[in-house]
Structures are given as C-alpha cells and as structure tokens.
Amino acid sequence: MTMCFALSQNVALRVLDRKRRFAMRMIGLVVMCALLEACTITPMFPSEIMKNVEINTFDVEAWQKQTYHPSIAGFVPHKVELGGEIIEVIRKPEGVVLLVEAQPVGSHAAYGSKSVDRGDSFWYAIAFNGSPEASMLQRGNRLVVVGMTERAGTEMIGGAPRVLPHLLAQCLHIWNNREAETADFSYYGGPMGHHPAEERTFCLGDDSGTSLTISESRGDKQQTHSEGL
C-alpha cells in the first residue's frame, strides 16, 4: 500500500514538473514574439525627426488655453508629436494649413482604424510648407504630426474667424481613411472585409525647398521627392 502511494506521488510530481516546464516554455515564446515584433515595427518618423520631441512633458492644455489669451510675450515653442483628424484644408501660397481635431497618438494599425477614442478633443491648426497629394488631405483622414508649437492665430472656418493653437509641421504621417472606408463595401452595398488604409509620411527637406515623401501603401515603401509649394 505504501509502495503504491509513493508511486502515485512520484507520477503526480512528474506530471506537475512537465506542466511547469511547458508553462515556462510558453512564457518564453510569448516574450520572444513580443521582442521580435518590437524590433520589426517600422518607426513612423526617422530618428533625427524625433530628436528632442517632448513626449511626456509637453503641457497640451496650456497650449490650448493660450487661444483665449494670445500674446507674443512669454511664449516658448515646443517640439511635439500630436495626433488628429482632418476637419478642413486651407491652401496657401507657401503650402497648406490643416484644421485638425485633436486625437491621441496611437499605433500604426490602431490609429488607422475607424475606432479611435477622441477623449477631450479640441481643434488646432497645422501649417505645412509642402505639397501632399490631394487624396491624403481629405476630411476625415487621420494623422500624426511632428513640429514646433506656435502662438495662437486666426483662421477662417465656415466664413467666421476662429482663434486656434498653431503648429509648424516638420513631418506628417497621414492615413487615407476615407478611401479605405469606401473600399470596405461592394457596389451592391454589402461588406467586402477590412481594407487597410493607405498611409504616407511627408517630411520637409533640410534647407532645400523640397518635401520628402515616404510612401507606405499597404506594406510597399518607396521614397520620392516633390517640390514644396
């Protein structure tokens, strides 16, 4: 009887040991996959563009509130990365001004999707002295911008002036959500499955008067140059 009990206990310990080793292997695989995924994700912007960007220290609320008390005195520009959805596009001789509803900056895939938590959003204006394609500047397209904050300025919205916080953009990453949402449905009104949004990055050239366009269209990447406006 004692021998049978000892044998059963030994078998149970072996089973537990196998389960423990299996669990450890699975944890190791999960960690390895996470590390590999982190290493293979292509950065949204070049490292030199992201240098000195204030990720966690920028006071967005203070920048927003300066619209109520616009003043040159005491204004300090900050290099920031912000997200948003295009509300309106104003073309100017030197480029474009994008009126944007602020949204949190998310990951590549998640930010390009339809479901983005707006939170306590507000409007701001992005001045970009380049020439992105018209299809990328449609109302409803989402973007992430890196640039320098500027003091508040007045823009005409629906025929009425409105004071907005301003940002001078160095780089824009835009998702063409409007065309992706249209492609999700067939001509007969039925769903055809999810179509990933085309996404492109536009960066100003260094003292060259040109804008560098980095195309990221559903996994294809190429670099071209286009003249700034």
pLDDT, tens only, 137-178: 999 999 999 999 998 999 888 888 999 999 999 999 999 986
Q: Which of 45, 61, 63, 41 is nearest to 53 (CA)?
A: 45
Q: Tokens standing for 198?
A: 């085309």
Q: Which long-range contacts (CB under 8 A, 24 or more apart) does 176-180 make?
A: 176/135, 176/136, 176/138, 176/141, 176/200, 177/112, 177/114, 177/140, 177/141, 177/142, 178/138, 178/139, 178/140, 178/141, 179/135, 179/138, 180/112
Domain extents for the chain? 1-40, 47-227
Identify which has the larger pLDDT, 39 or 176: 176
Residue 66 binned pLDDT confidence (cut-offs 50, 70, 90)? confident
Identify which has the larger pLDDT, 28 or 187: 28
Q: What is the reported pLDDT for 227?
A: 42
- For 101, left (φ over 0), alpha (ψ -120 to 50), or beta? beta
pLDDT, tens only, 69-122: 766 567 889 999 999 999 999 998 889 999 999 998 875 444 555 555 555 679
Asked if residue 218 has pLDDT above 80, the reply is no
CA distance 81 to 149: 10
